[in-house]
Structure 1
């Protein structure tokens, strides 16, 4: 992890998709540190987060919602509002099973 934190934003930018994969399980010890690195990028993360939603991997979505996304400033949550509302109003069966709606409701309250 120390080597990653020594990389410049330009160097990190090239590996954002790979770093996002480290957030597939919020229980991994490195997950929080990777979130810290990714938070440097703010709005640039939006397309990468949206790509996670497209994977239809509800566990990854859960850890993104409770980790990185919950740590983003409200101004970025507004950009994700359509994606969050889709999961809330039209969840897949797996998203329902993971109870993503509970997490999303609290995120949407932050931007109302």
Structure 2
């Protein structure tokens, strides 16, 4: 049995039992789950973010691919979820990407304030 993807941004029923699945069961739908973090104001985003935080060490490459992309708002939310609000130590590869955003941001990362958020993450991990 495979977990269900939300059909719309308020489809909390589809993800209610997400925590009952192992990473291996969820792995095929991780890219689609990450798309639900494009706006943390969506009702499904919070529960999905909590689940994805629990498997963050397995999805580092997926997160980095998005952080190297062009969707600036999505990047902001991912730095928030997997950096600022991280529930476990941040994978060194992901931390390196946060450092890149903090120290060598694109103009768009500066405009979207993703750089500022990444700087906070870096400061937090040094203390």
Q: TM-score band (shorter)?
A: 0.7 to 0.9
Q: Structure 1 residue 94: deviation in Å?
A: 0.8
Structure 1 residues 32 and 68: CA distance shift in structure 2, 3 A: farther
- In the other structure, the counterpart of 1:85 is 99
Q: What is the CA–CA distance in structure 1 between the aligned matches of 2:115 and 2:88, rounded to whole Å?
A: 18
Q: Which moved more, 1:19-28 or 1:34-43?
A: 34-43
> Greater relative contact order (Cα 8 A, min sep 6): structure 1 or 2?
1
Q: Is the 8 A contact 1:26 1:67 kept in 2?
A: no
Please identify which structure carries the higher helix content.
1
- SS of 2:90's equivalent in the other structure is helix
Q: What is the CA–CA distance in structure 2 between the aligned matches of 1:78 and 1:11, rounded to whole Å?
A: 25
Is residue 6 from structure 1 mapped to residue 20 from structure 2 by the alignment? no
TM (norm. structure 1) is 0.85
User: 1:39-97 CA deviation, whole Å, 9 max, x = no partner?
Assistant: 23130021111011121211101111122432324522533222112112221111111
Is residue 101 from structure 1 mapped to residue 112 from structure 2 by the alignment? no
- SS of 2:38's equivalent in the other structure is coil
Q: Is the 8 A contact 1:22 1:30 kept in 2?
A: yes
CA RMSD, Structure 1 to Structure 2 (Å): 1.9
Q: Structure 1 residue 31: deviation in Å?
A: 0.6
Q: Which moved more, 1:1-10 or 1:92-101?
A: 1-10
Q: Which moved more, 1:16-25 or 1:75-84?
A: 75-84
